[in-house]
Structure 1
Amino acid sequence: MTQWLANVFRLGLKELSSLRADPVLILLIVYVFSFAVYSVATGAKLEVSNASVAYVDQDRSALTGRILGAILPPEFNPPQEIAANEVERVMDSGQFVFVLSFPPAFEADVLNNRKPQVQINVDATAMAQAGNGSVFLQHIIRTEVAKFVSGDDAATTLPIDLVVTSKFNPNLNSVWFSSVMQIINNITILSVLLTGAALIREREHGTIEHLLVMPVTPSEIMVAKIWANGLAIVVAAILSLWIVVQTILAVPIAGSIPLFIFGAVLYLVSVTGLGILLATFTTSMPQFGLLSLPVLVIMNLLSGSTTPMESMPVWLQNVMQLAPSTHFVAFSQAILYRGAGLEIVWPNMVVMVALSAVFFLVALKRFRVTMATVH
């Protein structure tokens, strides 16, 4: 056992040396855990921001002016007036996300309780912005109409007190969500790519034959690749959480980072094993990339990191329970977003350990077959 551990350690140092000598992979790791996290967090916002609004005002009353004056930045750009016959054209060309249409005698009908209609045309190709923005516009219109009719500019009162408390993200800031999720997804992506690339690199450089004549076993080679590449990913993830997320983006981390890293290490055994498994079916980096792409896309999109698991069909939810990424995302969100402790996340950790063992054994079996074929 001592000799096995010594061989794994030395082979892992060789892997780290090979990684250090590959500037492309080093640049990829730095980019993925720095600029990619920052750019996605600040650029891909889910909330309404600077949405373009146009309006058709056939009433030109004080009420319509009041409503238009309440549509303000930063959610909306100042509304621009267009003619009634231009609505279809500006919507088709994508010039505006929202177009409001006020009918003639709108103010008079409101005062006489005739319930006039205000049309809100929404470009729903941008679904998140369209959905949230239309809700904001409806709220603005209702509020301003209620204030105008009552003659009181104070906040309108309801027969009940509705208290909404936003837990874990009080300002509903999408940067808090997307920055952390980007790191979680990048751990999955790089775990597969780095370990697979390490095996492909051995083949392309001809060093796999050198390993075969050495007194080492396939399990030692495989475990060495896992711990060396996993170490590089863990270090990069820690630095990204500290420098990019907490320092630059000022996103608070609610839970224990050591507990998150411990769970990430358990998870890395399965996804690095998956990377080696995929690499055994290919002979070059282009083939490996083409094989990995659909696997990574499915793992990320259906793991709960992009959309909630509850919104998926039940059968798909059951299938995705076999993917370690599903449990890692749930584990990471519970710790980093909600401050959960070991007493809450331990079931996810148990499942990750079980799936890691399965993936590792399957990858090891396939790796031994591949080594025997090369020999």
Structure 2
Amino acid sequence: MRAANVARLGLKELRSLAADPVLVLLILYTFTYAIYAVATGANFEVSNAAVAVVDDDRSALSFRLRDAVLPPQFAHVVEMTAAQADAALDAGDTVFVLHVPAGFEADLLRGRPASLLLDVDATAMTQAGNGAAYLQSIIARELAVAAGRDDGISAGGQAVDMVVRARFNPNLSSVWFNAVMQVINNVTMLSVILAGAALIREREHGTIEHLLVMPVTPAEIMAAKIGANGLVIVVASLLSLLVMVQGVLGVPVRGSLLLYAGGAVLYQLSVTALGILLATIARSMPQFGLLVIPVIVTMNLLSGSSTPLESMPDWLQWLMQASPATHFVAFSQAVLYRGAGLAIVWPMLAALALIGAVIFAVALARFRRTVVEMG
């Protein structure tokens, strides 16, 4: 390949992209408002959850338990009868119902077995699980204080003071996770779409035939499309991290943006080549869209950006090692969340390079065959 030809073809790609208002608006939307909407709208922590209490004890301890449930995790506790609480759960008006039986405080103070009942609406599983854990912790703390202990944990008669420290996200805010991961997912989506759309656009406008009569090779044409569209995506993602993630949302980026940019450039080798490969199979833009949707959804959902890779079946974890998105997500999380350096992330970069070389070779072979058929 001749660098001069690739550079000139790359400039042509950039001009064609700039002349397409739909793709320009898609890039702007994807790396601005879409990041903000997903980061602030899809929260997984417990916030303002409705709690009701059925207090048959009417004791000082039952009132103390009620007063310990506070915002912002929970809304103000509402007292109900048992029938009202059942109706509220059925209607979805409350998520948690705490039942305090009659004689609860007396049984506890006399050392007799005492029990509490917590009903949970598990329709929203994440909120139900986290909220139930918070409520259990609150109740255990208050019962320990009522029983005359300063803590709720004991072992062998000796008090144990366990200190929990949350690293990298001390407030356990889902906004911090969602914002960065949405940028990474959008990098995957737009890289495939832009590269493939560039080839489809050439075919639909008839300009691919003009390229075939020029002294350029298929490898140079493909390298120009990958380089130009990949450059746009990398620059847009860096600006999104600086302006939207750090500036607007206030999410700290701990690692080196230069190292992230290097990994993103390496990632473009595989995902943009994948877009061109899909474009050689499709004959029109609608067909290309139908091919892209399942590929992008599968790559994003199973890459570890939405759910932990470790929670998937073993065979699926092994299968997803062939996806470049899996390694790029692990690389981005290590660099942007935990501030990892090159000494830690080089295996991920090596995997990206290997997978990218394979996909590029397959896409180039398919692209050459398509060019020959069109010629």
**Scaled by the length of structure 2, what TM-score is found?**
0.95
Kindly provide the CA deviation profile for residues 78-118 of structure 1, in whole angstroms up to 9, marking residues without a partner as x. 11222212333322322222121222222222222233221
Structure 2 CA distance for partners of 1:374 and 1:82, relative to 1, 3 Å: farther
Counterparts of 1:32 and 1:113, CA distance in 2: 60
- 1:347, CA displacement in angstroms? 0.9
Does the alignment pair 1:69 with 2:77? no
Counterparts of 1:273 and 1:81, CA distance in 2: 61
- 1:60, CA displacement in angstroms? 2.0
Counterparts of 2:147 and 2:161, CA distance in 1: 22
Counterparts of 1:215 and 1:126, CA distance in 2: 60
Bigger mean CA deviation after superposition, 55-64 or 275-284: 55-64
Does the alignment pair 1:148 with 2:142? no
Q: Flag structure 1 segments of 5+ consecutive residues without an equivalent.
A: none
Counterpart AA for 2:142: E
Tell me the matched-pair count. Answer: 371
- 1:156, CA displacement in angstroms? 5.9
Counterparts of 2:54 and 2:343, CA distance in 1: 57
- 1:189, CA displacement in angstroms? 0.7
Alignment map for 1:106-185 (pairs within 5 Å): 106-150=104-148, 158=154, 159-185=159-185
Match of 1:105 in 2: 103
- 1:157, CA displacement in angstroms? 7.2
Kindly provide the CA deviation profile for residues 330-373 of structure 1, in whole angstroms up to 9, marking residues without a partner as x. 11111111111111111111111011000000011111112222
Aligned CA RMSD, in angstroms, stands at: 1.6
Counterpart AA for 2:293: L
Match of 2:325 in 1: 325
Counterparts of 1:104 and 1:112, CA distance in 2: 14
SS across alignment from 2:97: strand
Match of 2:214 in 1: 214
Check the 8 A contact 2:144/2:151 in 1, yes or no.
Answer: no
Counterparts of 2:52 and 2:34, CA distance in 1: 34
Kindly provide the CA deviation profile for residues 207-228 of structure 1, in whole angstroms up to 9, marking residues without a partner as x. 2222222222211111111111
- 1:125, CA displacement in angstroms? 2.3
Match of 1:7 in 2: 5
Match of 2:341 in 1: 341
Q: Percent identity, aligned pairs only? A: 61
Counterpart AA for 2:320: M
Counterparts of 1:300 and 1:82, CA distance in 2: 44
Counterpart AA for 2:192: V
SS across alignment from 1:175: helix
Match of 2:285 in 1: 285
Counterparts of 2:80 and 2:201, CA distance in 1: 61
Alignment map for 1:2-81 (pairs within 5 Å): 4-81=2-79
Counterparts of 1:156 and 1:226, CA distance in 2: 59
Counterparts of 2:33 and 2:66, CA distance in 1: 39
Counterpart AA for 1:305: S
Q: Flag structure 2 segments of 5+ consecutive residues without an equivalent.
A: none
Counterparts of 1:93 and 1:367, CA distance in 2: 57
Check the 8 A contact 2:151/2:161 in 1, yes or no.
Answer: no
Check the 8 A contact 2:140/2:152 in 1, yes or no.
Answer: no
- 1:149, CA displacement in angstroms? 3.0
- 1:285, CA displacement in angstroms? 1.9
Kindly provide the CA deviation profile for residues 144-175 of structure 1, in whole angstroms up to 9, marking residues without a partner as x. 1222232x7x6667511212222222222222
